[in-house]
Amino acid sequence: MLKLSKIKNYSSGAFFVAAGIFLSRISGLIRERVFAHFFGNSDVADAFKAALKVPNFLQNLFGEGVLSASFIPVYAQKLAEGNVEEARKIASTIFVLLTVIVSLLTLFGIYATPGLIHFIAPGFEDDKKALTIKLVRILFPGTGLLVLSAWCLGILNSFGRFFLSYVAPVVWNLTIIFTLIFANVTKGRSSEELVLYSAWGLVLGSFLQLAVQWPAAIQLAGPLFLNRKERLFAPKHHSVQLILKNFGPAVLGRGVVQISAYVDNIIASFLPSGAVSALGFAQQIYLLPVSLFAMSISAAELPNFSSTTGTTEEIYKYLRQKLEMALRKVAFLVVPSVFALIFLGDRIVALLYQTGRFDESSTLYVSQVLIGYALGLFASTQSRIYASVFYSLKEARIPLNYALYRVLFSTVLGVFFAIYIPVYFKISAQWGTLGITLATSLSGWIEYFLLRNRTQKKIGIVPWSKNFYLRIFFASFFATGVGLLVKEFLVKHKNLFPMISSIVIIGMFGITYLSLCYFLDLAEVKKNIKFKKIKFKK
C-alpha cells in the first residue's frame, strides 16, 4: 500500500523552481555560447536551429506546459483529498497513454521528416536542407524522452518537490556541451560533422534527464506496473477523462503557440543567411526571464491553486489574493529586465555569445532582434500567471481561445513587418528579423489584455497598486542610466575583454536597481535584505 507523503508548503516553491530554472538556463546559455563559438551565424547553425523546431513541437505539445495545465490540477487535488490510490491510478494511466502516443508520433516524425522540412524551412535548399533532415531524424527520439521526463515533473511538482524537476535539464545541457567539445578535440572535424555529434549528444542528454528524475517520481507516485487486481490502467476513470478533456484544449493552446513560432521560422528562412540562428539566439535570452520569473511562480502556484477547497466565493477570494502577489513578484523582476534588454542588450549578448565565429557584428545583429522580444516581455510573463488561474479551475479552453487570437495577429503582423516593411522603406532585409519579434510582442499584448479582463470577470477585480509600479519603473529607469554611463566609460577601453566589461555593466545595473528598490521601501526587497545593527563591546 502506497503511503501519501506530506506535501511541502508551496509558498517556498517559487524559490526552488527559480533556482532549478536558473541553473538549467545558465547551463543552457553556456551550451549556446559553446555552440556560437563553433558555428556562429552560419548555414550549419541555421540548420540546427531549424531542426530543433520540428521535434520541439512534439515536446511542447505533450510536455511540461500541457501536463501542468491538465494533469497537475486533477492529480494535486486527489492528493489534497487523501485519495492516494486514485492518484496512483491516474498517474499510471497518463504515463501509459503518454508513452504510446509519443512513441507513435516519434516513429511517424522520423519517417515523415523530408515532408516536414517543406513546412518548417521552405527557404532551405540543397546541402542546407539535407543537413536539416539528418538532424531532425536524430533529434526526434531524444524529444520523446523529454516528454516522458515532463511526466516526472508533474509528479514531483504535485508533491512540492520542485527543485529536482527543474534542475534536471542541467544534465541535458552538459551532455551536449561535453559531446561537442569531445568531438572537436579528439579529431579535426568539419562543421557539418560537429553539428551531427551535437544532435547525438542531445539524445543522450534526454535519456539522462529522464533517468535523473525517474527514481524520485516513482517513489512518490508508486509502482506503474499494470496489475489486473489493482487495474492501474483505467482510461475511463472520471478523473482521467477530466484530464483528457482539459488535455485537448491545452494541447491545442500549446500547438497554436508553436505554430506561431514555426511561422516565424518560415519567414526567417526567406531572410538573409543567419536570420534563423539570430532569432534562436535572441529567443534564448528572452526566455530566460520568462522561465526564471513567470514559469517559476506559475509552476509553484498551480498545485496550490488546484488544491484549494471551500465555497466558490472563498476560492475566488483566495485566488485574487494569490494572483495579486504573483503578479507583483513577476513585475518586480520583469520590468528591470525589459529595460536591460532594450538598452543594454548588446552587452548581454556579448557576455553570453561573443566568442569564436560569433563576432561583434553578430552581437549587434542579435541585440537588435532582441529589442523586439523585450517590448512584449511584460505582457508574456503576466499572461502566464493569468492562464494558471484558468488551468487551476479546469477551464483550459479560455487560454486556448486567446492563444488563437495571439497566433492570428502574430502571423499577419510578422509577414507584414518582416517581408513588406523592409521592401517598402528600401532597407536591409536583415531588419525583417526585428519585424518578426516586434509582431510577437504586439500579439502578446493583445493576449495579455484579453486574459486579464476575462480573469477579473471570472474571479473579481484583482487589486492593482499604481504606487508599486511607479516605484519599480523609476528604479529601472535610473539603473539603466547608471548602466549606460558605465558602458560609455568602458567603451573607451577597446582592449577590455567583452565578457569582463559586460559583467561590470550588468552588475552595476542590477546593484543600482535593488538598492533603489530597498530605499523606496519595496517589500519584495526588504523581506529578503536586512541590515543588522552592529553592536560594539565596551
Side-chain-facing half-sphere of 335: CA atoms under 13 Å? 21
Helix, strand, coil: what percent of the chain each, to 5? Answer: 80, 0, 20
In this prediction, residue 248 carries a pLDDT of: 66
Q: What is the pLDDT along the chain (538 residues), one digit of tens a residue?
A: 333 334 444 445 566 776 777 788 788 878 888 888 888 777 888 888 888 776 666 666 665 656 666 777 777 777 777 777 778 888 888 888 888 888 888 888 888 888 777 776 777 777 888 888 888 888 888 878 887 888 888 888 778 777 887 788 899 899 999 988 888 876 667 788 888 888 899 899 989 988 999 898 888 887 765 555 455 555 666 667 777 676 666 666 655 666 677 778 788 888 888 888 889 889 888 888 887 777 777 766 666 666 666 678 888 888 888 888 889 989 999 999 999 999 999 999 988 888 877 888 889 999 999 999 999 999 999 998 898 888 778 787 888 888 888 888 998 999 999 989 998 888 888 889 999 999 999 999 999 999 999 999 999 988 888 899 999 999 999 999 999 999 888 866 655 677 788 889 999 999 999 999 988 888 777 665 544 443 434 4
In this prediction, residue 379 carries a pLDDT of: 95
CB 209, CB 70: distance < 8 Å: no
DSSP 12: G
Nearest residue to 177 (alpha-carbon basis) of 208, 152, 153: 208
**Residue 358 — φ and ψ, nearest 5°?**
-90, 90
In this prediction, residue 396 carries a pLDDT of: 74
199's CB contacts (< 8 A; 6+ apart) are: 48, 51, 134, 135, 138, 139
CB 67, CB 391: distance < 8 Å: no
Q: Which long-range contacts (CB under 8 A, 24 or more apart) does 228-236 make?
A: 230/89, 231/89, 232/88, 232/89, 232/92, 232/93, 233/92, 233/93, 233/96, 234/89, 234/93, 235/93, 235/97
CB 231, CB 86: distance < 8 Å: no
How many helices (H) and strands (E) the chain has is answered by: 22, 0
Sequence ranges of the domains in the chain: 41-270, 271-526
Cell of 380: 508574456
In this prediction, residue 3 carries a pLDDT of: 38
In this prediction, residue 152 carries a pLDDT of: 85
| Global confidence as pTM | 0.70
